[in-house]
Amino acid sequence: MKQRKLVIYYILISSIFIFLLFILNLFSSRESINTEINRYYLAVIFVLICFFGFSLSFYPRWYRNIILNKKKSTIIIDIDNKSRISEGHHPSCIKFKNHVIKIKNKKYCAGCFGLGSGSLISIFLIIYYLLFNNNECSILYQYYFFLGLLFVLLSFFEIFINKNSILHILSNIFLIIGFLMITISTLENTNNLIYGLIAIFGSFLFLETRIQISIFKHINICDNCIEKCKMY
């Protein structure tokens, strides 16, 4: 019940923020300042965030492990003499088989793998944007904004219908690409660096919303499972 309320809260805040971005992109007057320098500032910030997100995707909380000098533990729980271990930071349970992917005998979280891959792809896409941006096609950025929002919303819904780890990976890849499209289009539609940074902040909010929805799904999986080990 608590997680359900938290999900509703995040969805509500995200909806308000989407409306704010909608207003900024469609109705804000375009600033008459140096567009090129704004692009480079925003690109550097976005790339740094993507690098950090990429590292967290494959080494979750690595910075906390360094600060607190903690060693990673794979054992989650021991019940009825059966050890439940972590596989891609998910329980080694058949109910979570679509949440992990196996690569070279090692299992990874499918969601995190998608987020990391999406971050890496977005780095190349934003470099391409800097090198080959065409000012004459600025009208297209309004369509990019809506396409980016569509990617984000589809990623939210995918959590509830996911039956395949590959689909889960693709959903998370397009989630990050959606963040990139929203950020770039907001900058191009307003030519205001502050608004571009607001779009980045909105991306963090959307990502946290998706995480909370995912946790809610995980709790439901455990609640509906007959096993005694309730990991969520």
Chain segment 92-137, per-residue pLDDT in tens:
777 777 778 887 777 788 888 999 999 999 999 999 999 887 666 6
- Mean residue pLDDT across the chain: 83
3-state secondary structure of 214: helix
Give the separation between CA 98 and CA 108, rounded to whole angstroms.
Answer: 11
Give the strands of the sheet with 90-91, arranged side by side: 75-79, 82-87, 90-91
CA 176 vs CA 3, 11, 186: distances in Å: 24, 18, 15
Mean pLDDT on 74-91: 56
| pLDDT value, residue 75 | 47
Distance CA 149, CA 168 (A): 18
Residue 33 φ/ψ, nearest 5 degrees: -135, 180
Residue with more model confidence, 178 or 219:
178
Is 210:159 a contact under the CB 8 Å cutoff? yes
> Cβ-count burial of 187 within 10 angstroms (0-12 exposed, 13-18 middle, 19+ buried)?
buried
pLDDT tens-digit readout, 193-210? 999 999 999 999 999 999
- What kind and span of H or E run contains 103? strand 100-103
pLDDT digits 0-9 by tens, 127-175: 999 988 766 667 788 899 999 999 999 999 888 776 788 888 999 999 9
Residue 83 has pLDDT above 70, yes or no: no
pLDDT above 90 (res 17):
yes
> C-alpha distances in angstroms, 105 versus 9, 33, 69, 77, 138?
39, 53, 27, 23, 46
Distance CA 117, CA 152 (A): 16
Question: Predicted confidence band at 182 (pLDDT cuts at 50, 70, 90)?
Answer: very high
Higher pLDDT residue, 227 or 67? 227
pLDDT(81) > 50:
no
C-beta of residue 46 within 8 angstroms of C-beta of residue 195:
no
76 in Cβ contact with 91 (< 8 Å): yes
What's the 3-state SS for 29-58? CCCCCCHHHHHHHHHHHHHHHHHHHHHHHH
Task: Name residues whose C-beta falls within 8 Å of residue 137's C-beta, 6 or more positions apart in sequence.
Answer: none
Condensed to tens digits (0 to 9), the pLDDT of residues 24-77 reads 998 887 766 667 899 999 999 999 999 998 888 877 765 565 555 555 545 445
Phi, psi of 103 (to 5 degrees): -130, 115
Asked if 166 and 35 touch (Cβ cutoff 8 Å), the reply is no
